[in-house]
C-alpha cells in the first residue's frame, strides 16, 4: 500500500484538483508502467470484465511500486475473498461494481478493513511484505484503503443519499453504459435522461462532501466532465485509446474501418465496397457552381408572428427541387396548422419544440427530427416562453408554399419516445436512432428516404465527424444541401476549399465532385439533405476533387458565363 500516493490523491480531491487516470484491461504491465511514467494520478486494473488473471494483476501492481500513482483493482463482484486477495497482493484500494444499497457498500468497507473495524483476514503476502511487516501494515491499512463503489443501475441511483452516509467511502464512480441499460437503453453510453440523472446524483454526492468519478469518451469529454464538477476523470481505457489513435492514423491515409462483432473490418455503406470511378459519368456534367451561404447573409422572412425563416438553399441560389434553411421561433411563438404539396423535414437544433400532426403532439428534444409527408396538416410551436427555438428545415421543392388549415384536430399527447405513425409522419429520436458510417471517423443517421418512407421525394439525415473524419470524393445525381450545425468543416469541391461553421450551408449541384473533412481538433456535425429519394452517391477517384484532376475543367462558355 502506497500511503504517500493515497494521501496525495486525497489532498488533491480535497482541494478540488482533478485527478486523472487510466482504465487498464490489457495484460501487459507495460501499459501501467507507461501510466506511471506519464504521472497519472491513478490506474484501475479491471478484473471484472476481460481476461486478466491474478498473475497479470499483480504484475500491473508491481509496475506502480514506489510511485505516486494509486493502483485500484476493480473486482468482479462484491465478494470478500476477491477483495481480500486484491488488497493482499498490494492494491491501494478496490472498485466495487453494481453497488445498489448502503448495506452492500458497508459490507464492501468491512471486507476491506482488518478487525475490529472490519472482517479482513491478515495474509503473509505483498501487502505485509510477505509477513515481515504485519504490525506496520495493519496499523495504517484501515485508515488508507480506498473503497470506490460504482453507481450503474437505476436502483443504485435511488440509494445514493443513503450511500453518502457510509463511513470509509469518499469517492463514487458512475457507469453510464450499465446505468442506461438498467433504464431500458441497452447499448447506449448515456440513454435519454441518463446524463441529467448522473449530474443530479453528482450534486447530491458533492453536497455530502464526497467526490465523483467517470470515464471520459474523448478529449472534449474530458474537459466537459471537468467543467461539470467531476474530480476523478478517466482519460480512457487502454484499448479505447489505442483504437482511437490507430483509427486517426489510418484515417490520415484513407484506411480507417469500423469493427464488427465478428472482428472483420467493414464499411456499412454498400457503395463504398465498389471501386471508385476514374471520373464521374459525362451525363452528370454540372450546369451550376457550388454555393456557400453563411447564416445571416440572407434576408429573413417572417412566416408567422414571432417565426422567421432564413433560406440558405433554394431557388435564389439556383437549387433544383430543394429548399433548406433555418427557422427561428421566438419564445412561445407558433406556426399555425398548414399543409404542403411536398415533404418537409424539421430538425430541432436548439430550444424546445412541439410539433402537432393532425392532433398528434410530439415533444422534440435536441437533434430530434420530424418528417411530414405531403398533404399532412401540421403545426409547430416553441414550448418555452423564455428561450427561442431554432430548427433546420428542408422541403422537397425549390418553390416552397403552404396552405393554411383551419380544421380542428383533437389533441393527443404522444409518448416522449414515440417515432410517429406508420404510413404517416416519422419522428426520429436522436438518442435511439440507428447509426452507421459513411467514411473514416464518421457516424451517420438516415432520418428519411424512400426506403424508410415510401414515395418520399427527398432523403437526408445527420452526420458526425470526429477529428480526422472525412468522406471520399463523390458526386450525386441530384442537388445536395449540407448545413454545418457545430464545429468546423472543410469542404473541398474540385480543388476549391471552403471553411464552414455556425450553420453555414453548402449547395452542391448535381455532378459536382466534393467531399467534407474535419481538419479541426473538435467534433463537427452536419445536417445533409438530398433532392433525391435515396441517399445514393457515386464514389470517384480522389484526384477528381483536385484542381489538376477536375473532370469538368473544360467547361462550355455558357457555364463560364454563369459565374
Enumerate the active-site residues. Answer: 49
Q: Are 454 and 510 in contact (CB under 8 A)?
A: no
Name 32's Cβ contacts closer than 8 Å, sequence gap at least 6: 22, 24, 43, 45, 60, 63, 64, 69, 71
What are the strands, taking DSSP E only, across 383-424?
389-395, 403-404, 412-413
Give the residue among 126, 146, 150 at the shortest CA–CA distance from 54: 126
Residue with cell 465498389: 274
Residue 364, beta-bridge partner list: 353
Give first-to-last CA distance, the chain, whole Å: 74
Q: Are 352 and 386 in contact (CB under 8 A)?
A: no
What are the strands, taking DSSP E only, across 273-398?
291-293, 301-304, 307-313, 323-329, 334-339, 344-350, 353-357, 360-364, 369-372, 378-382, 389-395
Name 202's Cβ contacts closer than 8 Å, sequence gap at least 6: 174, 212, 228, 229, 230
CA atoms within 13 A on the CB side of 464: 10
Q: What distance in Å separates the CA atoms of residue 313 and residue 290, rounded to the nearest whole number?
A: 11
DSSP letter string over 270-281? Answer: GGGGSPPBSS--
CA atoms within 13 A on the CB side of 200: 9
Amino acid at each position: 500500500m502506497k500511503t504517500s500516493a493515497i494521501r496525495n490523491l486525497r489532498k488533491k480531491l480535497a482541494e478540488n484538483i482533478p485527478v486523472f487516470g487510466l482504465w487498464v484491461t490489457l495484460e501487459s504491465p507495460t501499459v501501467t508502467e507507461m501510466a506511471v511514467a506519464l504521472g497519472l494520478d491513478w490506474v484501475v486494473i479491471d478484473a471484472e470484465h476481460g481476461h486478466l488473471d491474478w498473475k497479470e494483476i499483480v504484475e500491473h501492481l508491481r509496475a506502480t511500486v514506489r510511485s505516486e500513482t494509486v493502483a485500484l483493482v476493480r473486482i468482479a463482484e462484491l465478494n470478500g475473498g476477491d477483495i481480500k486477495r486484491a488488497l493482499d497482493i498490494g492494491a491501494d484500494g478496490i472498485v466495487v461494481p453494481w453497488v445498489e444499497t448502503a448495506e452492500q457498500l458497508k459490507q464492501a468497507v468491512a471486507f476491506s478493513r482488518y478487525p475490529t473495524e472490519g472482517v479482513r483476514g491478515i495474509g503473509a503476502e505483498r501487502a505485509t511484505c510477505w509477513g515481515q511487516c504485519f504490525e506496520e501494515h495493519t496499523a495504517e491499512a484501515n485508515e488508507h484503503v480506498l473503497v470506490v463503489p460504482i453507481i450503474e443501475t437505476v436502483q443504485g441511483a435511488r440509494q445514493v443519499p443513503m450511500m453518502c452516509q457510509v463511513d470509509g467511502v469518499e469517492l463514487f464512480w458512475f457507469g453510464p453504459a450499465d446505468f442506461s441499460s438498467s433504464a431500458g437503453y441497452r447499448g447506449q453510453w448515456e440513454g435519454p435522461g441518463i446524463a441529467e440523472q448522473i449530474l443530479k446524483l453528482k450534486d447530491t454526492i458533492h453536497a455530502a462532501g464526497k467526490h465523483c468519478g467517470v470515464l471520459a469518451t474523448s478529449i472534449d469529454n474530458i474537459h466537459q466532465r471537468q467543467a461539470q464538477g467531476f474530480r476523478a476523470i478517466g482519460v480512457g481505457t487502454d484499448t479505447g485509446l489505442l483504437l482511437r489513435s490507430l483509427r486517426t492514423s489510418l484515417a490520415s491515409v484513407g484506411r480507417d474501418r469500423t469493427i464488427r462483432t465478428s472482428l472483420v473490418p467493414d464499411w456499412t455503406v454498400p457503395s463504398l465496397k465498389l471501386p471508385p470511378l476514374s471520373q464521374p459519368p459525362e451525363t452528370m456534367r454540372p450546369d451550376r457552381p457550388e454555393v456557400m451561404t453563411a447564416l445571416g447573409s440572407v434576408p429573413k422572412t417572417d412566416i408567422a408572428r414571432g417565426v422567421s425563416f432564413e433560406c440558405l438553399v433554394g431557388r435564389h441560389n439556383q437549387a433544383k427541387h430543394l429548399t433548406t434553411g433555418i427557422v427561428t421561433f421566438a419564445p412561445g411563438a407558433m406556426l399555425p396548422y398548414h399543409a404542403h404539396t411536398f415533404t418537409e423535414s424539421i430538425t430541432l437544433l436548439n430550444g424546445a419544440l412541439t410539433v402537432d400532426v393532425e392532433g398528434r403532439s410530439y415533444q422534440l428534444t435536441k437533434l430530434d427530427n420530424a418528417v411530414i409527408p405531403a398533404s399532412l396538416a401540421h403545426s409547430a410551436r416553441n414550448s418555452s416562453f423564455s428561450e427561442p427555438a431554432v430548427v433546420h428545415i428542408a422541403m422537397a421543392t425549390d418553390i416552397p408554399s403552404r396552405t393554411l388549415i383551419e380544421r380542428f384536430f383533437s389533441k393527443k399527447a404522444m409518448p416522449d419516445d414515440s417515432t410517429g405513425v406508420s404510413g404517416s409522419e416519422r419522428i426520429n429520436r436522436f438518442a435511439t436512432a440507428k447509426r452507421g458510417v459513411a467514411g473514416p471517423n464518421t457516424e451517420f443517421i438516415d432520418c428519411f428516404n424512400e426506403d424508410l418512407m415510401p414515395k418520399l421525394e427527398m432523403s437526408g439525415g445527420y452526420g458526425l465527424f470526429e477529428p480526422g473524419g472525412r468522406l471520399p470524393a463523390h458526386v450525386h445525381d441530384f442537388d445536395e444541401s449540407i448545413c454545418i450545425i457545430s464545429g468546423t468543416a472543410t469542404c473541398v469541391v474540385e480543388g476549391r476549399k471552403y471553411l464552414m461553421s455556425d450553420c453555414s450551408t453548402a449547395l452542391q449541384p448535381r455532378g459536382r465532385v466534393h467531399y467534407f473533412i474535419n481538419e479541426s481538433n473538435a467534433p463537427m456535425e452536419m445536417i445533409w439533405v438530398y433532392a433525391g429519394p435515396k441517399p445514393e452517391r457515386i464514389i470517384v477517384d480522389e484526384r477528381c476533387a483536385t484542381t489538376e484532376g477536375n473532370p469538368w475543367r473544360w467547361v462550355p462558355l455558357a457555364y463560364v458565363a454563369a459565374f
